[in-house]
Amino acid sequence: MNRWYLKIEYDGRNYVGWQRQENGPSIQQSLERAIENFSNERIIVQGAGRTDAGVHALGQVAHFDLKKDFSADTVRDAINAHLRPQLISILVAQKVSDKFHARFSAIERSYLYRILNRRSPPTLESGSVWHVKRPLNAGAMHEAAQILVGEHDFTTFRATMCQAKTPVKTINSLSVFTDKDQIIFKVSAPSFLHHQIRNFVGSLRLVGEGKWQLTDLKRALAARDRTEGGETAPAGGLFLTDVTYPPDAIGAA
């Protein structure tokens, strides 16, 4: 049995999300179909993190097992060939130890969120930015974002349907900066609550507009009440960029 690590990029626009669902095509299902068609083996793909409908990935990670033996180039190219014309692309395929688990071995997930902050609507980036017309103060947003770093009860920023056992999570880092006409959020944590980043962005937007001061964000966090937080930012601005593993986890099998 060979366990395979995959690093995957996708445009989440036409999918119900990472996870297999009855109401439409998922990334997971598309991958499984492509791998089964190429290998003629029944397999299950296990992802590092579930992304919601419309959320993109530049570095999702998954694993699966094959009985037959193939070279890494063959696995990557054959899955990519079977995925066409879908906008899902295997960046890396690598044989790993059967102790490697895409979800349970991961020690950190990193995401990017992009706001297009200008008056004029997006064109080429339509569906991959949140269009916010009112000018935002990225410096104030970055300063406020530091309130959210560290271990907190994040009930205020947790989707009501979130199934996590506890609302307590640890944000390793959260930075906000401008890049031309965009405002970029970079956030890393061992794991996140459902909609946590999109709810962070919705609240930090209020800070950027000057509607909220630092004390408002502190009060919202302390309230442990979703109704005290800002809106949920749209899915299209969110990208899963990296999943981190301990140094020895992805060694050759």
Q: Does 178 bind a copy of itself (CB under 8 A)?
A: no
For residue 238, the minimal CB distance to a copy of itself (Å) is: 12
CA–CA dist 18, 220 (Å, integer): 30
Residue 69 CB-half CA count within 13 A? 1
Residue 180 — left, alpha, or beta (φ > 0 → left; ψ -120 to 50 → alpha)?
left
User: Looking up tokens 């140094």, which residue turns up?
Assistant: 247
For residue 135, the minimal CB distance to a copy of itself (Å) is: 14
Q: Does 114 bind a copy of itself (CB under 8 A)?
A: no
15, 39, 55, 76: which one contacts a copy of itself (CB under 8 A)? 76
Residue 60 CB-half CA count within 13 A? 29
23, 120, 160, 163: which one contacts a copy of itself (CB under 8 A)? 120
3, 4, 5, 10: which one contacts a copy of itself (CB under 8 A)? 10
| Tokens standing for residue 59 | 């570095």
Nearest residue (CB) to a copy of itself, 133 versus 219: 133
CA–CA dist 49, 71 (Å, integer): 26
Per CB under 8 A, the segment of 15-23, 47-55, 72-80, 186-194 that binds a copy of itself is 72-80
For residue 20, the minimal CB distance to a copy of itself (Å) is: 20
Q: Does 118 bind a copy of itself (CB under 8 A)?
A: yes
For residue 44, the minimal CB distance to a copy of itself (Å) is: 23
Host H or E run for residue 173: strand 173-179
Residues with a catalytic annotation lie at 52
| Tokens standing for residue 133 | 């017309």
Tell whether the torsion through CA atoms of 190, 193, 61 and 178 is positive or negative: negative
Residues that bind a copy of itself (CB under 8 A): 9-11, 56, 58, 76-77, 80, 83-84, 87-91, 118-124, 126, 128
